[in-house]
Structure 1
C-alpha cells in the first residue's frame, strides 16, 4: 500500500486508538487488512477480514478460524519476503 491509511477505533475504555493499514491481502476474492498501532512499533499487528454488509459498506471482522488466520499469515509473510527482496 503506497498511501498511508489510518483507521481510528475506540477501545473498551473509550480511548481513541489509531491503527495504520500496513497491508491488504486477497485470498480467493476475500479481502483482509493487516493493521498496526501508530504509537507502538513493538506491538503486534492485527488481522481483520473485510466483509461487505447488506448496505454495501465494508466492515472489519475478526477471524475466528485458525485455518483462515494461518492462510492470511502465510500470505502476509510471502508479501513481506517478496517486497524485502525487491528493495535489496
Structure 2
C-alpha cells in the first residue's frame, strides 16, 4: 500500500488545513503539485506552481490563472488514462 503524502498549511483564519499530494505534473519545464483537502467527502483539487527561489529552495505558489489551471488539469488527465 502506497503511503499518502500529507502537507499542512494555514488558511486565512490561521487554522491548520491538511492536504494530500495527488500528483506532480509538468508543463514544459515548469512543475506543478496537485493537492486535495484531506477532509472526508471533498473532491476539490488545488494546483500549486513549484517555484525555486534565489537560494535554490522550492516554494509553492497557488495557481490563480484559469487558463493555466485548465492546462494543468489536461496534463493531469493524461496521467490518469
Of structures 1 and 2, the one scoring higher in RCO (CA 8 A, sep 6+) is 2
Q: Which residue of 1 aligns with 2:60?
A: 60
Who wins on radius of gyration, i.e. which is larger? 1
* TM-score, with structure 1 as normaliser: 0.79
Q: Which residue of 1 aligns with 2:5?
A: 5
* TM-score, with structure 2 as normaliser: 0.85
> Which consecutive segments of 4 or more residues in structure 1 shift more than 2 A?
40-43, 64-67
Q: Kindly tell me the number of residue pairs found equivalent between the two proteins.
A: 80
Name the one with the larger helix percent: 1
Tell me how far 1:3 sits from its aligned partner: 4.2
